[in-house]
Amino acid sequence: MSDSTLADRSASAQETPRRARVSHGTLEPSRGGAASSPDTPEGPISTANTAQGEPASTPVRRPGDRVFRGAAVGSGAFIVVLIAAIGLFLLLQAVPALRANQVGFLTSGVWNTTDPNGLQFGILYLLWVTVATSVLALALAMPVSLGIALFLTHYAPRRLARPFAYVVDLLAAVPSIIFGLWGIKVLGPTLVPVAEWLSRNLGFVPLFAPGNVSIGGAGNVFTAGVVLAVMILPVITAVSREVFERTPKEHIEGALALGATKWEMVRTTVIPFGKAGYVSASMLGLGRALGETVALYLILSGTNAAPKLSFFDGGATIASKIALGSGEFNNELTAGAYIAAGLVLFALTFAVNALARTIVAGRKGSA
Amino acid sequence: MTTATTDLHRPATGPAFQGIGAGRKIKNAVATTLVALAFLVAVVPLVWVLWSVVQKGLQPILSADWWTHSLYGLRPYDDRGGAYHAIYGTVVQALSTALLSVPVGVMVGVYLVEYGAGTRLARFTTFMVDILTGVPSIVSGLFVYALWISILGFGRSGFAVSLSLLLLMIPVVIRTTEEMLRIVPNELREASYALGVPKWKTIVKIVLPTAMSGIVTGVMLGLARVMGETAPALIVGAYASSINLNVFDGNQANLPLLMNDQFANPETAGFNRTWGAAMSLVLIIMLFNLLATVISRLSAIKK
C-alpha cells in the first residue's frame, strides 16, 4: 500500500518545485524515500502553496514507473485498436471490389473472379454450406459435450477426472489439416454407407435428398459436419465443464439429502445452474465451426452447381472458399472479393462470440 | 404386557426412507450409461485420428533422409527426399511468432492485472481479447494480407505467416499471463513495496519471475496450437520444395503447406509425404506439449 502514499506525494510535488526536481532524478527507491522526508533542511519553510493540514511528503514519480505503466496501458489499448484495425483494413480492401462487383454480393451464388474487370461474386451458396455444416456440427456436438462435461465433473472417479479431461483437450491440439486429411481419406469413406442409407430411407425429407455432388465421393456437408462436430467438442466441453464445476455444493447436497438419485440431482441442480454457461459454450463452438477453414477445404468437393439445400451438397464454406482462392491473390480487385467474404465471416464470428461472452459474463455476475 | 413393547417398537408412520422406485433406478442407470458413452464418443475419434496418422505416416519418417533432406529437384513420383525444409520452416515461424507475441501478450496481462484492474478500459480490453480468441485463422491471414502485403507492399514470406499466427497467439499469451499473475501471492508485492521498491521494479523483478514458469508453459502450449495452422499460411505464405533459411524473404515451406502441396499429388510418394508430414507435425506438437508439462512440473509456484 506504500504505492498509494507515493501517489499522494506526487500530488503535492508540483507545489514544491525544488523537491520535485530532486525526486525526478532519482531512480533508487531509498534515495527517493530520503528526498521525500518532510524535514529535509533545504525544503522551503513557508510556501504559500503548502497547506498546513496536508502531509508534506514529497512525490516520487519515477521515470521507470511512468515508462512501464505507459507500456502496459499502451499494450492494453493496442488490443482494442487491433480488433478495430482488422475490421477497418478488411473493409478498405473490400470496398473497391464490392464497387466493381456485377452481381449482388449477398443475393447471388455466382463466384467468378478470374477476370478482374468483370468481377462476379456472391456469397449466397457459400453461406448455405457454412450454416449447414456449422449447424449440423453443433447439433451433433451439443448433446455429446453435455454428456462429457457432466461425466468429467460429476461422474468420473475423482482421480481419473483430470487425465480424462486432458484426453478431451488433446482433441483440440490436433491441427485442423490433420482432421481434414482424416475426414476425407478415412472417415468419409466409412460414412458413405451411412449417408447412402439415410438418403435411401429419409430421401423424402429435403435435407436428406441427393445433393449437388455424388454421395459416394464423401465430400459433402454430412462428412464435413461430423468432422467439425469432433473439432468443436473440446471447445464446448471445456467451457461447460468450468460452469458445471461451480455448482454450489449446498444445492448438490440438498438434492441428495432429499433422496434424489444422482441423475435427479444433476437434472435439478447442475443443469439449471450451468444452463447459461452451456448455451454460451455452444455458441463459442458455433463461432469456431463457422471460421474453420482447412478441414473443410480438404473435405468438401468443389462444385459450381446451386446447392439443393441437402446435407449431401458439396461446394465450399466462406472460409474454405477463401482458402481455395489463395492462388488468385495477385491483384487488388480479386483479392478484394475474397476479403469481402472474409469480412462477412469476421462480422459473423464477432457477433456470435460477443453474444456468447455476454451470456457467460452475465452469468458470472449473478452467480 | 408383551403387546406394549411390540407397540413401542412399531413406528407410528411408514418408514422414512423408502426404497427408490424401479423407474427412477432405471432412469438413473440410463443417464449414467449415456454420460459415460458420451466420453467414449470423444475418445474414439481421437484414437482413430492418431492411429490413422501413425499407421500411414510412421514408415516415411523412419528413413534418415526424411529429417535431413528437402524435396528439392524430386519428381512427384520419386519416393525419396524428406521434409527438413518444412520442419525448419514450421519451427522458425513458430519461434518468430513467440518472439513477437510474448512481449505484447505479457504486457497486456500485466496491464490487466497490475494496472488496469477494475477500470473501464481493462474491461473493454478483456472483452476484445475474448473476441480476438474467436477470430478465425483465415481472417487473421486476410488481415495480414490486406495490411502487410497489399498496403505496405511486402511479399509473401515466412515472416508474413508469423505475423498472422501472431494474432492467434497473442490472446493465448494474455490469458496465461493474466491467470499466472493472479495467483502470485499479494504478500510478495506488499513486501517489495514496503522496502520502497518502485512498482515497475516490483513487477519486473518479483511478480514476473514468480509467474515465469506458468507463462512459459502457456506459451509452449499456444505455440503447439498455432504451429498446425494452415489457413493463414495459404494466404500469406507460399510453399517451396527446397530449404529457405531466411524467414523474412522468399517462399518458405512449413509442414501444413507441405501437406497441402502433396495432398494434390496422386502418386504413392505424395501419399507418403502427406502422411509423413502429418506424423512429423503431431510429433513436434507432442514435443512442445511435453516440454510445457516438464517446465511446469519443474518450477511450479510454491505456495
Q: Which pLDDT score, from 0 to 100, does residue B3 have?
A: 52
Crossing angle of the two packed helices B158-182 and B84-110, in degrees rounded to 10? 40
CA distance A177 to chain B (A): 7
The residue-averaged pLDDT of B166-176 equals: 93
Q: Compare B2 and B298 and report the one with higher pLDDT.
A: B298
Is the pLDDT assigned to residue B154 strictly greater than 70?
Answer: yes
If asked whether residues A233 and A322 sit together in one domain, one would say: yes
Does A19 reside within a domain? yes
Q: Which of A23, A42, A61 is the last residue of a domain?
A: A61
* The residue to which cell 473472379 is assigned: A113
The residue-averaged pLDDT of B219-236 equals: 89
Q: Provide the terminal-to-terminal Cα distance of chain A, rounded to the nearest Å.
A: 30
Q: Name the residue among B36, B135, B256 with its Cβ closest to that of A86.
A: B135
Partners of A329 on chain B (C-beta within 8 Å) are: 145, 235
Q: Which pLDDT score, from 0 to 100, does residue A290 have?
A: 93
Per-residue buried b or exposed e for A64-84, using 16+ beta carbons within 10 Å of the residue's own CB: ebeebbebbbebbbbbbebbe
If asked whether residues A334 and A187 sit together in one domain, one would say: yes
User: Taking CA atoms, what residue in A is nearest to B193?
Assistant: A2
* The residue to which cell 451470456 is assigned: A359
- Cβ-based neighbour number of residue A287 at 10 Å: 28
A173/B138 CB distance under 8 A: no
How many domains, in total, are found in chain A?
Answer: 2
Q: Name the residue among B31, B131, B195 with its Cβ closest to that of A350.
A: B131
pLDDT above 90: percentage of residues in chain B: 49
The residue-averaged pLDDT of B66-86 equals: 84
Q: Which pLDDT score, from 0 to 100, does residue A362 have?
A: 65
B231/A319 CB distance under 8 A: yes
pLDDT tens sequence across A299-337: 998 888 888 888 888 889 999 999 998 888 888 888 899
Partners of B36 on chain A (C-beta within 8 Å) are: 151, 155
If asked whether residues A174 and A25 sit together in one domain, one would say: no
Does A68 reside within a domain? no
Q: Name the residue among A168, A264, A293 with its Cβ closest to that of B138.
A: A293
B111/A76 CB distance under 8 A: yes
Q: Which pLDDT score, from 0 to 100, does residue A306 have?
A: 83
Q: Which amino acid is at B269?
A: A
Partners of A176 on chain B (C-beta within 8 Å) are: 228-231
**Local confidence pLDDT in tens for the 367 residues of chain A:** 344 444 444 444 444 344 433 334 334 444 333 344 444 444 444 444 444 444 445 556 788 888 888 888 888 899 999 999 999 999 999 999 998 888 888 888 888 888 888 888 989 999 999 999 999 999 999 999 999 999 999 999 989 988 898 888 888 889 999 999 999 999 999 999 999 899 888 888 888 888 888 888 888 999 999 999 999 999 999 989 989 999 999 999 999 999 899 999 999 999 999 998 999 999 999 999 999 999 999 999 888 888 888 888 888 999 999 999 888 888 888 889 999 999 999 999 999 999 988 887 765 544 4
A167/B43 CB distance under 8 A: yes
If asked whether residues A279 and A352 sit together in one domain, one would say: yes
Q: Name the residue among A83, A263, A266 with its Cβ closest to that of B131.
A: A83
B25/A261 CB distance under 8 A: yes
If asked whether residues A165 and A282 sit together in one domain, one would say: yes
Gap between the Cα atoms of B44 and B35, Å rounded: 15
B282/A178 CB distance under 8 A: yes
Partners of B93 on chain A (C-beta within 8 Å) are: none
Lowest mean pLDDT among B11-15, B116-120, B224-228: B11-15
Q: Name the residue among A33, A68, A335 with its Cβ closest to that of B196.
A: A33
Q: Which pLDDT score, from 0 to 100, does residue B165 have?
A: 94
If asked whether residues A19 and A160 sit together in one domain, one would say: no
Does A93 reside within a domain? no
Q: Give the 3-state secondary structure of residue A245.
A: helix
Q: Which of A61, A77, A102 is the last residue of a domain?
A: A61
Does A237 reside within a domain? yes
The residue-averaged pLDDT of B86-98 equals: 93
A349/B139 CB distance under 8 A: yes
Does A99 reside within a domain? no
- Domains, chain B, with CATH or none: 84-298 (1.10.3720.10)
Partners of B190 on chain A (C-beta within 8 Å) are: 1
Q: Which pLDDT score, from 0 to 100, does residue B32 have?
A: 93
Q: Average per-residue pLDDT in chain B?
A: 88
CA distance B69 to chain A (A): 23
- Give me A353's grid cell: 462470440
Q: Name the residue range of residue A24's domain.
A: 2-61
Q: Compare B3 and A200 and report the one with higher pLDDT.
A: A200
B143/A85 CB distance under 8 A: yes
- Give me A307's grid cell: 446447392
Does A96 reside within a domain? no
Q: Which pLDDT score, from 0 to 100, does residue A48 have?
A: 45
Chosen for mutation from B17, B35, B120, B203 (greatest number of chain A CBs closer than 10 Å) is B35
Does A212 reside within a domain? yes
Phi-psi region of B63 (alpha: psi -120 to 50; beta: other; left: phi over 0): beta
A29/B20 CB distance under 8 A: no
Q: Which pLDDT score, from 0 to 100, does residue A205 have?
A: 85
Chosen for mutation from B27, B187, B230 (greatest number of chain A CBs closer than 10 Å) is B230
Q: Name the residue among A29, A32, A76 with its Cβ closest to that of B121.
A: A76
Q: Which pLDDT score, from 0 to 100, does residue A3 have?
A: 42
Does A108 reside within a domain? no
B28/A262 CB distance under 8 A: yes
Q: Which of A61, A82, A103 is the last residue of a domain?
A: A61
CA distance A241 to chain B (A): 13
If asked whether residues A49 and A168 sit together in one domain, one would say: no
The 3-state secondary structure of B91-147 reads HHHHHHHHHHHHHHHHHHHHHHHHHCCCCHHHHHHHHHHHHHHHCCHHHHHHHHHHH
B135 touches chain A (CB under 8 A): yes
Q: Which pLDDT score, from 0 to 100, does residue B5 have?
A: 54
Q: Name the residue among B107, B130, B199 with its Cβ closest to that of A353.
A: B130
If asked whether residues A266 and A347 sit together in one domain, one would say: yes
Question: Looking at residue A255, which CATH number applies to its domain?
Answer: 1.10.3720.10
If asked whether residues A50 and A194 sit together in one domain, one would say: no
Q: Name the residue among B34, B146, B278 with its Cβ closest to that of A147.
A: B34
Q: Which pLDDT score, from 0 to 100, does residue A319 have?
A: 93
Chosen for mutation from B127, B130, B142 (greatest number of chain A CBs closer than 10 Å) is B142
If asked whether residues A125 and A269 sit together in one domain, one would say: yes
Looking at chain B, how many residues does it have? Answer: 303
B134/A353 CB distance under 8 A: yes
Partners of B116 on chain A (C-beta within 8 Å) are: 72-73, 76
B144 touches chain A (CB under 8 A): no
Q: Give the 3-state secondary structure of residue A112.
A: strand
Q: Which of A173, A174, A180, A181 is nearest to A133 (CA)?
A: A180
A93/B49 CB distance under 8 A: no
Q: Which pLDDT score, from 0 to 100, does residue A352 have?
A: 92
Q: Name the residue among B194, B260, B263 with its Cβ closest to that of A2.
A: B194
If asked whether residues A55 and A122 sit together in one domain, one would say: no
Q: What is the ipTM of this complex?
A: 0.87
B123 touches chain A (CB under 8 A): no
